[in-house]
Amino acid sequence: MGDHKGYIRKTLKLAKKGSGLVSPNPMVGAVIVKNNRTISSGWHKAFGLPHAEIEALKKAGDKARGATLYVNMEPCCHYGKTPPCTKAIIEAGIKKVVCSVEDPNPLMAGKGIEEIEKNGITVIKGIMEKEGEEINRAYTTYITKKRPYIVLKWAQTLDGKIATGTGNSKWITGEDARMFVKNLRFEMDGVIVGVNTVIKDNPSLDYISPSFQTEKRLLERKRYWKIILDPFLKIPEEGKIWESSNKIMVVVSEKVKDENVRNFREKQGCEVIKIPFENNRFSLKALMDELYQREIGIVMVEGGCYTLTSFWEERFVDEIMVFISNKILGGDNSLAPISGKEKRHISEAVGIEYYETKKIGDDFFIRGRICFQG
């Protein structure tokens, strides 16, 4: 029977190499084994490039005949940006496929496995299923909810403040934590902030590529948007945000004159989109639809308080990343990360399922999923 878990574990490790580059596609790794020996492996390296199975089959060549293919997600059977993997698997003479999870995409949903089995290939599925689902939770959200996977990120003092009453927030956390954020941004397809954050902090919102990801041809394929919520087009025409080549999207209300939008777009070379803006708030549903249409699969919302609260109250949040400093600020008017409607009972609080905690310099980092009720 072989070490199915061990080989699937290898596919998951390979799959993670595609983090930040394959979205909105899933992260997938593949290992081809024959006579208890690994003869080739591969992973999906970037959006639009060959899938993991194709990479592994190409390396294996004729040795793939009669071998077992391990893959953390069901092979695709439809034409997208690349041909279907099932066809290549059948033609290569693979005799067995072992996978972790079925693809949640309705175009797939077991059809890839069905096609493989119809061609006489044995399929074993559900190996390390929980881990297989976990690694591609962002992809599942994108496919099933037709919107990006949304991460709310903030830095706060030990007493839960993200800024003084005057809006000053530099710097709550230390340099190590701030560098860590830039590395986290590489996992994202985009970062969202409100225009007041741009005006007050003059951020670059850029990412740092991970040290293991050094292939220039892959890094050049990185898809990344800086998304500014700016209802009345107040964003400065100069600043750190404009200094890199990353795409910039400025989201304005439909009340802004078309002429102003056109002039700004032409001058700054960015995209300006209009979405509904009522009761001093953007329609986040309309924004999510726009991002989905642009194949933006995972975004980080970096605040401030008003922007974070908007996403929180409309439940457009799947995960939080919180940095907690070793400072206590105090102050009746100091800002908390999430404000909004007052709650009367602790039972109304939203639970967080932690899955990563660590110390970074003098600060603590918490990453967890949101457990909304109802």
Q: Report the catalytic residues.
A: 53
What token pair was written down for 215? Answer: 């292939």
What token pair was written down for 157? Answer: 């003092």
Distance CA(279)–CA(283), nearest Å, equals 10
Spatial CA neighbour of 141 closest among 290, 283, 292, 9 = 292
Which residues on neighbouring strands pair with residue 190, listed in sequence order? 225, 299
Classify 61 in phi/psi space as left (phi over 0), alpha (psi -120 to 50) or beta.
Answer: left
300 within 8 A of 191, measured Cβ to Cβ: yes
Q: Burial of 58 by CB count in 10 Å (0-12 exposed, 13-18 middle, 19+ buried)?
A: middle
* Rg value, the chain, Cα: 23
Distance CA(367)–CA(151), nearest Å, equals 10
Which residues on neighbouring strands pair with residue 32, listed in sequence order? 40, 69
What token pair was written down for 166? Answer: 């005057």
What token pair was written down for 112? Answer: 């890839």
**C-beta atoms surrounding 255 within 10 Å:** 11
355 backbone dihedrals φ, ψ, rounded to 5°: -135, 0
What token pair was written down for 302? Answer: 């970096």
User: What type of residue is 362?
Assistant: D
